[in-house]
Structure 1
Amino acid sequence: MTTDVLIIGAGPAGLALAAALCDAGLRVEGVTPTDPTTPWRNTYGIWEDELPSPEFASMLSHRWSDCVAYAGGQTLRLERIYGLFDNRRLQAHLLHRCTRAGMRWHRQPAQWAEHTATHTEVTLQDGSLVRARLVVDASGHTPVFVKRPLAIEIAYQAAYGVVGAFTRPPVRPGRLVLMDYRSDHLSSEERRAEPPTFLYAMDLGDDRYFVEETSLAHAPAVPFEMLKTRLHRRLAHLGCTVAEVEHEEYCLFPMNMPVPYLDQPVLGYGGAASMVHPASGYQVGAALRLAAPLAQTLARALSAANASPQQAIRAGWEVLWSQERLRKHQLYLFGLQTLLSLSEAQLQQFFARFFRLPVRLWGGYLSNTLTTAEIMQTMGRVFLAAPMQLRWALIREAMRHPKPLLRAAGLLPILHTPSVI
């Protein structure tokens, strides 16, 4: 039997889209090398205003209205509510929507795929075959089937964190610290020569806290050992140590993977579709928000008269990577490249100006909800508010790497030469 859509992967992105496809009335099957109920290891934060619908608010384990960032010698109050997902609740909710629609899971890796004009046949590890009108690869940053251009240099966000009890509170009770770039615990030589990192921390209640030393982006990735050492040095400087470890978190993912080829016979989603936001590293919020519109687009395309998988896939890629979204992405890549070029002191100056912008601008920038014109306005306002030394650094970076700006302006083509698959 041929199913409508085969989903590869059962992480947050894969399950979000699978649930939305089931809700849209499509026949959906899934392929995952592990049980789809396997707990997700990482923590997932989100701004409350990014939730796709009110029902997802009940899947937050914590909410903070006291949110701050520290940069440039300033305490920057972030007038926005931040939440932390309860992974088990979110996963169970998405799986329930799949189960009630009768979705079937194949618990083994996908090996290869053969494409025809009417369907794709996927061979699994044991040699069995699954036939689908359309395949969506949501298997992560190193996808099974999705093809993308070769990357010259990949910048990675890396983080090491601890959930547990501490000898004294590492952050003010009831507070969420989005970024703490204070670096008094480092020597002047370390601040000058080593990659900048910041503390991401939150009060989880009941004397439990989550603290994480994070490298926003660096090429190559900052080693976990450096992050772990820096975290404990920072905590010692704050006068506290870890008393009990409940969970250790190691997080590493690419920030600037090339956009996949948009002419290929499979559709990507999540990390496989390069949906990580280059400005923040966040992805789960976008995966939840785009799941329903993408599912509805695919359902319409597959139900159309004389529908073909190729037409549906093209329609799906248009939802994820329209020309407008591609132009915006180029601006975000320019912003990321600029941050990679800044010293630790300049980076602090940058964020001290960035978080002084109106919430609709800095919030929209981090949520990827601004228009191209609004992104340029946000960049311009940070530039005008920056001290002269930082302005020159931003100008130099624009002169060294002008292509993203030229692509965003339509003066250079955005995509690489299409693939032949």
Structure 2
Amino acid sequence: MASCADVLVLGGGPAALCIASELHQRGVAVEGIALEPVDAPWPNTYGIWVDELKALDLEHLIEHRWSDTVSYFGAGGSGVADQTLVHGIDYGLFDRAALQSYWLKRADGVLWHQDSAERVEAGAEHTLVSCASGEVRKARLVIDASGASSPHIRRPDQGPVAGQAAYGLVGRFSAAPIRSGRFVLMDYRSNHLSEMQRLEPPTFLYAMDLGDGVFFVEETSLALAPGVSYNVLKQRLKQRLEHRGVQIIDVIHEEFCLFPMNLPLPDRNQPLLAFGGAASMVHPASGYMVGALLRRGPGLADTLAAVLADPSLRPAELARQGWQALWPTELVLRHQLYQFGLSRLMGFNESLLRSHFATFFSLAREDWFGFLTNTLPLPRLMAVMLRLFALSPWELRRGLVLGAAKRQEPEFRH
């Protein structure tokens, strides 16, 4: 049997490094179990509104920054003129290596075991983790930060989990796919699609100019269960580019993403704590999580460091205190509101979605920003949602209250 740590963290991605580093900074004896080396490069890109990092004094972690941030919600198949919606807030792309290094340096001294957690058993005094290697490790508290698909975290079954799927690539093109120096949050224009394709679940373009003739373009679906297939997204991206007279010249990197958007909150009575995707921290309205990790990690670590100082507390009580700190009533209620909103949007066709987002971004900047970052207090969030409802056209209001009528479409082809 290995020595006993205060906290054993499962996982080696952003969530795991974040909470391990915050606990280590507070003098907690932390170890980790990760399938891959924790300094291995991360494959996915992570975007964030710069004001989120400014509030945390972490702007130095940005590799690319755009002030020209826009979306397009006009010009479906109807010939409606293009309208550029200017957001007026800077957007940034994390320097993945810098973000990873930031957390690793703060976690310097944490012992990482390259292994896989096969079974987790909470006992009266310790929690035991049986690994694929045959090792059995123990800790006073185990935090599962291994992702949304972790088999160790209990959560209620509320039906299929909707995924925000995306296929993207970093590359060089025969012509600029978007305007130079620009970031496009959402481009819902669909005049590159056939009439039949417009009956299928809508997708949008997320794109950015990375400089030096390199662009990142990504075709994304909002949320569906099951998620839109990568093949469909790849084909739609190709069609979108070709419609603009743009050919892909060189693929530098491909990206495949699938974020769980309506994952139920975990059973917060279980003696195992979670953080990140395993704790349902993906924002149901945006699919973003890194900002939440940076904001909520320190508070959780403060609570855990305090309760771990009491040697009489057992794993179940430590986990209970952790769950209360991570998901207080205020955040649970906000999460439920976001889940309700997402359940309505998932039934919207392309026209309703374009109308919804155009209305949403007509809200005051601080309101839509706070909504997308989950930083609005509950009363303000409710007021913003009521304001959005009041501003919405009648058909959109009907969909928000009753749910949109089921799409009259063929079965979606995967």
- The TM-score range, normalised by the shorter chain, is over 0.9
Match of 2:369 among 363, 372, 395: 363
1:179 aligned onto 2:186: yes
1:172 & 1:34 partners in 2: Cα distance?
38
Give the drift of 1:308. 3.0
- Is 2:259 aligned against 1:257? no
Equivalent residue, structure 2, for 1:415: none
Matched position secondary structure for 2:193: coil
Which residue does the alignment assign to 1:395?
401
| CA drift at 1:295 | 0.6
1:270 to 2:276 alignment:
yes
Matched, 1:280 2:286: yes
Equivalent residues in 2 for 1:102-113, closer than 5 Å: 102-113=109-120
Matching residue within 220, 225, 229 for 1:223: 229
1:119 to 123, 126, 137: 126
Partner SS state of residue 237, structure 2:
helix
1:137–1:305 CA distance, 2 compared to 1 (3 A)? closer
Amino acid at match of 2:339: L
Tell me how far 1:59 sits from its aligned partner.
1.4
> d(CA) in 1 for partners of 2:176 and 2:307?
54
1:213 aligns with 2:209: no
Say if 1:53 and 1:124 are closer, same or farther in 2 by CA, change over 3 A: farther
Which of these residues, 37, 46, 50, is aligned with residue 35 of structure 1?
A: 37
Indicate if the aligned counterparts of 1:112 and 1:145 stay in contact, CA closer than 8 A.
Answer: yes
Residue deviations 1:239-282, cap 9 Å, x none?
A: 21111100011111211111100011110011110111110011
SS of equivalent to 1:210: strand
Q: Which of 148, 159, 175 lines up with 1:168 in the alignment?
A: 175
With normalisation by structure 2, the TM-score equals 0.93
| 1:397, distance to aligned residue in structure 2 (A) | 2.0
Paired residues for 1:71-110 under 5 Å: 71-72=73-74, 73-99=82-108, 102-110=109-117
Provide structure 2 residue ranges, at least 5 long, that are not aligned to the other structure.
Answer: 75-81, 407-414
Matched with 1:48 is 50
CA distance in structure 2 between the partners assigned to 1:373 and 1:17 by the alignment: 29
C-alpha contact (below 8 Å) 1:51/1:289 kept by paired residues: no
Mapped partners of 1:379, 1:74: distance in 2: 24
| Alignment gaps of 5+ in structure 1 | 401-421
| Aligned residue type for 2:13 | G
Deviations 1:130-177 (A, max 9, x none): 111100000101114211112312111000101011111111111100
Overall identity of the aligned pairs, in % = 50
The answer to whether the 8 Å contact 1:74/1:352 transfers is: no
Task: Specify whether residues 264 and 27 from structure 1 end up closer, same or farther in structure 2 by C-alpha distance, changes over 3 A only.
Answer: same
Distance, in Å, in 1 between the alignment partners of 2:324 and 2:52 is 21
- 1:126-141 → structure 2 map (5 Å cutoff): 126-141=133-148
**1:416 equivalent in structure 2:** none
2:223 is paired with a residue whose SS is strand
Partner of residue 13, structure 1: 15
Q: Please identify, of 48-57 and 324-333, the stretch whose mean Cα deviation from structure 2 is larger.
A: 48-57
Query: Residues 366-377 of structure 1 correspond to what in structure 2 (within 5 A)?
Result: 366-377=372-383
CA distance in 1, matches of 2:100, 2:345: 34
Secondary structure of 1:366's partner? helix
Instruction: State which drifts further: 117-126 or 235-244.
Output: 117-126
**Counterpart of 1:294 in structure 2: which amino acid?**
L
- How many Å separate the matches in 2 of 1:6 and 1:288? 20
The root-mean-square deviation of aligned C-alpha atoms, in Å, is: 1.7
Aligned residue pairs total: 397
SS in 2 for 1:161: strand
Alignment of 1:401-416 (within 5 A): none
Please say if residues 178 and 209 of structure 2, whose CA atoms lie closer than 8 Å, have aligned partners that are also in contact. yes
1:285, CA displacement in angstroms? 1.2
My pick for the range that moved more, 342-351 or 119-128, is: 119-128
Match of 1:291 in 2: 297
Q: CA deviation at 1:113?
A: 2.3
Superposition TM-score, scaled by structure 1 size: 0.91
Asked whether the equivalents of residues 42 and 249 of structure 1 are also in contact (C-alpha less than 8 Å), the reply is yes
Contact 2:348 2:404 in 1 (8 A): no
